[in-house]
Structure 1
């Protein structure tokens, strides 16, 4: 294998938090770091990105002054070995907007929009990881064949640090916790 065809070093060795923090936003886009290893995410579809944007905009409008909702930025779970996740939507404390990295204790809710290639990670791995980190709410959006999204909500049980299954919605989410919000995802 020539130097021109050799995979970059980051593909086969752990990277540190300091190394990752030196990378540009462009280098960090589309990846997560799990136990120090880079995990490349497939490019999201327009439908996926629109769902995430509609959710983030609606959550941000309903959250009040104490919380912000945004899409696609890192939440750092641990420094050694480095583990960063990049949820599709994150509701986080407004007073931490300038803190980097964002930590789980800053986060109230994460949302993952399931896409081909992310099924196991979004349905099993991240549910456990987000709960163990103490994130109070997790929502999973399934892109159904009918075109109308299915929304599964989960609520943290602090005694067991696992999620209890909350409500399931088709198309429109209407919840009172973590704050009152109604979101119509059927108009994609």
Structure 2
């Protein structure tokens, strides 16, 4: 972390789920908690935020009444030590819209738009955490050298507890699982 993203001293202490749950949303925005330690979450620029919103809107429209898709809120992966991640896009059970915190059993899919400086976390650390939490689908969105977004898809393998690599998309995304959705990345 750079000096600009170093959290205040009180946030660098070990944080419990009870402490975190007592904080106002403004204090929690822009941070994640990993093994009880607050870590900065790089804020996305306009293009990645737009990509996350377009993806969430497409997933929300395709999901049907049982699922919602939204952007930028906590998913509580574990209570002790506290691990909260804030994926860019979350598809979760519609019936849990008022349940806080959102837990892995509420979540079908998480997607991360990889900003510069977060490649290792999004490619290795988060993918492992989401798999261990039992989240069925993980999508990682990166910009290719030509500037075109690439969506890497992963599906949880219940036998191994890890993700199997799925398809990689650029241009038009057409998937059948977790539900049929089509998204034109060229709109970005």
TM-score clears 0.5: yes
1:128-180 deviation line (CA, Å, top 9, x unaligned): 11111111101000112322101110011001110001011112210000000
Cα distance in 2 between the residues matched to 1:19 and 1:104: 20
Equivalent pair of 1:153/1:168 in contact (CA under 8 Å): yes
Unaligned runs of 5+ in 2: 1-7
- Which residue in 2 is equivalent to 1:112? 112
- Which residue in 1 is equivalent to 2:4? none
2:90 is paired with a residue whose SS is strand
Please state how far the C-alpha of 1:89 moved relative to its aligned partner.
0.2
1:127 is paired with a residue whose SS is helix
- Which residue in 1 is equivalent to 2:34? 34
TM-score under structure 1 normalisation?
A: 0.94
Equivalence map 1:5-16=2 (5 Å) = 7-11=8-12, 13-16=13-16
| Runs of 4 or more above 3 Å deviation | none
- Which residue in 2 is equivalent to 1:187? 187
TM-score under structure 2 normalisation?
A: 0.94
Cα distance in 2 between the residues matched to 1:52 and 1:159: 30
1:153 is paired with a residue whose SS is strand
- Which residue in 2 is equivalent to 1:49? 49
Please state how far the C-alpha of 1:92 moved relative to its aligned partner.
0.3
- Which residue in 2 is equivalent to 1:96? 96
Equivalence map 1:149-168=2 (5 Å) = 149-168=149-168
State how many pairs are aligned.
Answer: 181
In our comparison, the structure showing a higher alpha carbon Rg is 1
1:177 is paired with a residue whose SS is coil
Equivalent pair of 1:36/1:83 in contact (CA under 8 Å): yes
1:164 is paired with a residue whose SS is strand
Cα distance in 2 between the residues matched to 1:145 and 1:46: 19
Cα distance in 1 between the residues matched to 2:75 and 2:39: 15
Cα distance in 1 between the residues matched to 2:75 and 2:95: 16
Cα distance in 2 between the residues matched to 1:172 and 1:33: 34
Cα distance in 2 between the residues matched to 1:53 and 1:145: 22
Please state how far the C-alpha of 1:96 moved relative to its aligned partner.
0.4
Cα distance in 2 between the residues matched to 1:102 and 1:171: 32
Q: Does 2:71 match 1:66?
A: no
Cα distance in 2 between the residues matched to 1:22 and 1:45: 29
